[in-house]
Amino acid sequence: MAEPSVYLEKLAVFARMLRREGLTVGPQETADASQILISLGFQDRTQVKTALRTVFAKSREEQNAFDHVFDGFFLSEEAMRRQAQEQMQREAELEAARKQADEDLRIQGEPMHLREDLREVYATMPEEERQRLRDLMARYQGNIDRSPELYGNFIHSVFTRALLEQQMKMEDSGVGCQEADPELGLLYRDISQFKDTEIPRAISLIQGVARQINGELSAKRQQSGHTGQLDFRRTIRRGLETGGSFYRLHYKRKHQRRKKLVLLCDVSGSMMQFSEFALRFIQSLNQASDFSRTFLFSEDLFEADPFSLQNMDLFRTYVKDSGLYGKGTDLGTVLDKLCRLKPAALGPSATLLILSDTKTIDLPRAVNALLDAKRQAGRVLWMNPIPESKWPYVRSIQTVGTLCQMVPCSTLSALAAACRRLVQ
Amino acid sequence: MELEQLKKKLDEARYIYDDGLATTLFVALQLGRPLLIEGAAGVGKTEIAKVMAYALDRELVRLQCYEGLDESKALYEWNYQKQLLSIQVNMNSQDKDQLTRSLFSDGYLLERPLLKSIRAEKPVVLLIDEIDKADEEFEAFLLELLSEMQVSIPEIGTIHAKSIPFVVLTSNRARPLSEALRRRCAYLYIQYPDLDKELAILRAKLPHVDDRLAAQVAVAVQKLRASEAILKKPSIAETLDWASALDALGIRELTPDAMRQTAGFVLKNSEDLNAFDQPKEGHDCGGCGQCGAHHHG
Q: What is the pLDDT of residues B3-27, one digit of tens each?
A: 899 999 998 888 888 899 999 999 9
Q: Are strands A260-266 and A291-297 parallel, antiparallel or unpaired?
A: parallel
Residue B167: what residue type? Answer: V
Q: Which of B119, B184, B181 is nearest to B153 (CA)?
A: B119
Phi/psi at A327 (5° precision): -100, 175
Q: Which of B20, B38, B185 sits opposite A50 (nearest CB)?
A: B20
Q: How far is B126 from chain A (nearest CA, A)?
A: 19
Q: Which residues of chain A have pLDDT under 50?
A: 1, 174-180
Cβ separation A24–B179 shorter than 8 A:
yes
Q: Is A219 on the interface with B (CB under 8 A)?
A: yes
Q: What pLDDT score does A171 carry? A: 60
- Dihedral of alpha carbons A364, A369, A374, A379, sign: negative
Q: What pLDDT score does B242 carry? A: 92
Beta bridge partners, B186, equal B35
Cβ separation B28–A54 shorter than 8 A:
yes
Q: How far is B28 from chain A (nearest CA, A)?
A: 8
**Chain A hits for B19, Cβ within 8 Å:** 46-47, 50
Q: How far is CA A391 from the centre of its chain?
A: 12
**Chain A hits for B136, Cβ within 8 Å:** 219, 223
Secondary structure (3-state) at B124: coil
Q: Which residue of B has its CA nearest to A61?
A: B189
Distance between CA atoms of residues B201 and B217, nearest Å? 12
Residues in CB range of B291: below 8 A, 6 or more apart? B223, B285
Distance between CA atoms of residues A30 and A26, nearest Å? 7
Distance between CA atoms of residues B108 and B87, nearest Å? 12
**Contact between B125 and B168 (Cβ < 8 Å):** yes
pTM, two decimal places: 0.62
| Cis ω before A343 (30° cut-off from 0) | yes
Size of interface A-B (CB pairs under 8 A): 92
Which helix or strand (DSSP H or E) is residue A263 part of?
strand A260-266
Q: What pLDDT score does B150 carry? A: 87
Residues in CB range of A232: below 8 A, 6 or more apart? none
pLDDT > 70: percent of chain B: 93
**Chain B hits for A46, Cβ within 8 Å:** 19-20
Secondary structure (3-state) at A411: strand
Q: What pLDDT score does A135 carry? A: 85
| Helices (H), ranges, chain B | 3-12, 19-31, 45-56, 71-74, 80-89, 96-103, 113-119, 136-148, 179-183, 195-205, 211-226, 236-248, 256-262, 270-277, 291-296
Q: What pLDDT score does A125 carry? A: 82
DSSP A389: G
Residues in CB range of A197: below 8 A, 6 or more apart? B228, B287
**Chain B hits for A40, Cβ within 8 Å:** 3, 23, 26
Q: What pLDDT score does B52 carry? A: 94
Q: What pLDDT score does B29 carry? A: 93
Summarised one tens digit per residue, pLDDT across range B238-265 is 999 999 999 999 888 888 888 888 888 8
Q: What pLDDT score does B8 carry? A: 92
Which helix or strand (DSSP H or E) is residue B170 part of?
strand B166-171
Beta bridge partners, B188, equal B37
Q: What angle do CA A175, A179, A183 make, to 5 degrees?
A: 125
pLDDT at B283 over 50: no
Q: Which residue of A has its CA nearest to B29?
A: A36
What b-and-e string marks burial along A228-238, b requiring 16 or more CB atoms within 10 Å of the CB?
eeebeeeeeee
Cβ separation A223–B137 shorter than 8 A:
yes
**Chain A hits for B175, Cβ within 8 Å:** 212, 215-216, 219
Q: Band of the pLDDT at B169, cuts 50, 70, 90? A: very high
Q: What angle do CA B71, B73, B76 make, to 5 degrees?
A: 65
Q: How far is A422 from chain B (nearest CA, A)?
A: 18
The ipTM is: 0.80
- Dihedral of alpha carbons B193, B195, B196, B200, sign: positive
What's the first-to-final CA gap in chain B, in angstroms? 42
Q: What pLDDT score does A178 carry? A: 43
